[in-house]
Chains A and B, each alone.
Chain A
Amino acid sequence: MNIRQLSVFIENKTGKLSAVLGLLGENKIDIRAMNIADTRDFGILRLIVNDTDKAAEVLKAGGYASTSSNVIALDVDDTPGGLAGALSVLDGNGISVEYMYASLSSAGSSAHIIIRVDDNEKASAALSAKGYKLLSDEDIRNI
């Protein structure tokens, strides 16, 4: 099961990140999880939001370059070693992780981990088979 992630191009200059987040806020886009990959000249802001289509429209209208891609959202126990167990499943299946980031769930008992792997389908199947819970776009909307 995949969820959609938006990636936004941001120049590495003061105020650029605040501007894009402000724009999303004004348009009532709720951010569920986020992460920034940065280089000397630019950064990629990765977002999991409550309404991906609307966010994409808002960004386009605001003059931002953005693209959507599929990632996996995994629910893991918020206990020591919880994530390590999930990663060893991926590792055991020869699936490599491009990047990942996490957010704590409001319930406090589990954490949401966003993972970008080289093969989403294979990773989903392997994790589900081991009893891990994967979130859907629907789940994300309802968080």
Chain B
Amino acid sequence: MENYWNKEIECMSREDMKKLQDERLVAQVKHVWDNVPYYRKKMEEKGVTPDDIKSTDDLYKLPFLSKADLRDAYPYGLLAKPLSECVRIQSTSGTTGRRVVAFYTQHDIDLWEDCCARAITAAGGTKDDVCQVCYGYGLFTGGPGLNGGSHKVGCLTLPMSSGNTERQIQFMMDLKSTILCCTPSYAAYIGEALKEMGYKPEDNCLKAGIFGAEPWTEEMRREIEKSLGIKAYDIYGLTETSGPGVAFECSEQTGMHINEDNFIAEIIDPDTGEVLPEGSKGELVFTSITKEAFPLLRYRTRDICVLSRKKCSCGRTLIKMAKPMGRSDDMLIIRGVNVFPSQIETVLIAQGYPPNYQIEIDRVKNTDTFDIYVEMTDEMLSDTVKDIQTKEAELVGAIKTILGINPKVHLVSPKTIARSEGKAVRVIDKRKLV
């Protein structure tokens, strides 16, 4: 028996949903045109006015927004409501120059939490559940989003935030958590820790997990399901559009339903920007049609995936997106954190190292490893090990400050990092995720 948080919306006929999207899009374009000079200018440059947008069929006429626009317009350039109407900001995993700050009115928070409530309900959550949220709380959207959704559903919410695994397990056991929300790699880690402590999968009360914020595979899903004795559900979102809950998985576990009443999804050719027909692989683009404070139109996510309207056994009619199968830019997601190689380069240069480095990522026992190889120079060399290790520790600390995750730094001899066509290969991602 499938549970819905908002059956009317989640199972709405395609005709009714399109009508709803048409109305909301037309109003949203006008709202943005009137309140966001940055986007209005982009529309004017393309020769488009709100009058040209009569329905979702006209969506393709609107200009795209990209991460570069968010950077250019930082911090208030895409704000569509007075700050006095806003009640919250959230931000992406702290990045110099690429930071995204998203604003929310109370209405926006309500819609976002509603999306998360749908995800929790689809995972079988009800007011009788104990929902343990171990996504980070704070600027990161994971914790606040699922926390809000859990409150809406009426679960007893355990706002654990991330880390301190021993305490997570103690609360999980003592308070009989039934739903676990975290990154898939952390779920796998908890599973291992439980095993090491001598617990069997049936010893905990968990029945479901809602895992997202980083790429993971079907194999990893099976492993987590086995080690925790649960059903593991995927969830998708990004700070730019609100946070987790843009799309969520149902009992069929074959892709995530997009909350189409709030977000219109398109798949485009990342090179030409041309909209591709349903079922094509391309870059995912979202248009927020209900957000007030930070309403991004045609935002390019850089995630490569496929959309499908194939009938779902759960009864939902919301379009489904497959797990993203890669990125159209150089962004990496390591342990749930967005990492651009250029950020690491900036730190290296600031610390006096040459920009000759290589990032190597792998997944060992379901946890991402993050190694940075840096070429030694005459200038950075010292005759004492202590000096070199002090500088190395400072480098690790500076990267941790920027990214929030600890790399393992390896100093290597000059000119030993592989170069192809004269250009160094910056990233070696050994994770097998697709």
Indicate if B389 sits at the interface (CB-CB under 8 A): yes
CA distance A116 to B383 in the complex (A): 9
Q: Which residue of A lies closest to B408 (CB)?
A: A41
Determine if B377 is an interface residue (Cβ-Cβ < 8 Å): yes
How many residues of chain B have a CB within 8 Å of chain A? 21
Contact with A along B407-422 (1 / 0, CB 8 A): 0001111111000000
B383 x A11 contact (CB < 8 A): no
B392 → chain A closest CB, angstroms: 9
Please determine whether B383 and A5 come into contact, CB atoms closer than 8 angstroms.
yes
Contact A63 B381 (CB under 8 A): no
- Chain A interface residue count, CB cutoff 8 Å, equals 23
CA distance A46 to B414 in the complex (A): 18
A37 close to chain B: CB less than 8 A: yes
Asked if B170 is at the interface (CB within 8 A of a chain A CB), the reply is no
Q: Determine the distance from Cα of A66 to Cα of B410 in the docked complex, in whole angstroms.
A: 17
A24 to chain B, nearest CB (A): 16
Q: How far is the CA of A5 from the CA of B411 in the complex (A)?
A: 22
The residue among B376, B377, B411 with the most chain A CB atoms within 10 A of its own CB is: B376
Assuming A9-B411, A63-B413, A63-B414, is B384 touching A37 (CB within 8 A)? yes
A105 to chain B, nearest CB (A): 23
Q: Which of A11, A44, A64, A65 has the most CB of B within 10 A?
A: A65
Q: Given known contacts A11-B412, A41-B410, A64-B413, is B376 in contact with A99 (CB within 8 Å)?
A: no
Q: How far is the CB of B172 from chain A (nearest CB, A)?
A: 36
Cβ-defined contact, B383 with A7, below 8 A: yes
- How many angstroms between the C-alpha atoms of A66 and B414 in the bound complex? 10
Interface presence of B378 (CB below 8 A): yes
Contact check, B383 vs A65: say whether CB atoms are below 8 A apart: no
Q: Does A10 contact B (CB under 8 A)?
A: yes
Please tell me if the beta carbons of A67 and B378 are within 8 angstroms of each other in the complex: yes
Question: Within the complex, what minimum Cβ distance (angstroms) separates A2 from chain B?
Answer: 13
Restricting to A88-140, which residues have a CB under 8 Å from any CB of B?
Answer: 98-99, 116
Task: Indicate whether A10 sits within 8 Å of B413 (C-beta atoms), given known contacts A65-B377, A67-B378.
Answer: yes
* Closest CB in chain B relative to A34 CB, distance in Å: 12
Interface residue? B382 (CB, 8 A): yes
| In the complex, chain B residues 401-434 whose Cβ is within 8 Å of any chain A Cβ | 410-416
**Contact yes or no, A69 B383, CB < 8 A:** yes
Chain B positions within 8 Å of A46 at CB level: 383
Please tell me if the beta carbons of A42 and B384 are within 8 angstroms of each other in the complex.
Answer: no
Determine which residue in A16, A37, A41, A69 has the highest number of CB atoms from chain B within 10 A of its CB, and name it.
A41
What distance in Å separates the Cβ of B210 from its nearest Cβ neighbour in chain A? 39
Q: Does A18 contact B (CB under 8 A)?
A: no
Q: How far is the CA of A65 from the CA of B352 in the complex (A)?
A: 14
Does B385 interact with chain A (Cβ within 8 Å)?
yes
Would A44 and B385 count as touching, CB distance under 8 A?
A: yes
Q: Cβ of B413 and Cβ of A66 under 8 Å apart?
A: no
A39 in contact (CB, < 8 A) = yes
Which residues of the other chain, A, contact B382 by a CB distance below 8 angstroms? 7, 44, 67, 69
Known: A41-B411, A63-B413, A65-B414. Is A9-B389 also a contact (CB below 8 A)? no
Q: A44 to chain B: which residues have CB within 8 Å? A: 381-385, 388
Q: Which residue of B lies closest to A7 (CB)?
A: B383
Q: Which residues of B contact A41 (CB under 8 A)?
A: 410-411
* CB atoms of B376 and A9 under 8 A apart: yes
Are A9 and B381 within 8 A (Cβ)?
A: yes
| Beta-carbon contacts under 8 Å, A1-43 to B | 5, 7, 9-11, 16, 37, 39, 41-42
Docked complex: B351-402 residues within 8 A CB-CB of A: 375-386, 388-389
Please measure, in the bound complex, the distance between the C-alpha atom of A69 and the C-alpha atom of B411, giving whole angstroms.
21
Least Cβ–Cβ distance between B377 and chain A, in angstroms: 5
Q: Which residue of B lies closest to A39 (CB)?
A: B385
Q: With A and B bound together, what is the CA distance between A42 and B389 in angstroms?
A: 10
13 residue pairs from A and B, CB less than 8 Å apart: A11-B413, A16-B413, A39-B385, A41-B411, A42-B412, A44-B382, A63-B415, A64-B413, A65-B375, A65-B381, A66-B381, A69-B382, A98-B386
Chain A residues at the B interface, C-beta cutoff of 8 Å: 5, 7, 9-11, 16, 37, 39, 41-42, 44, 46, 60, 63-67, 69, 71, 98-99, 116
The 4 lowest CB-CB distance pairs between A and B, nearest first, are A7-B383, A65-B376, A67-B381, A9-B376
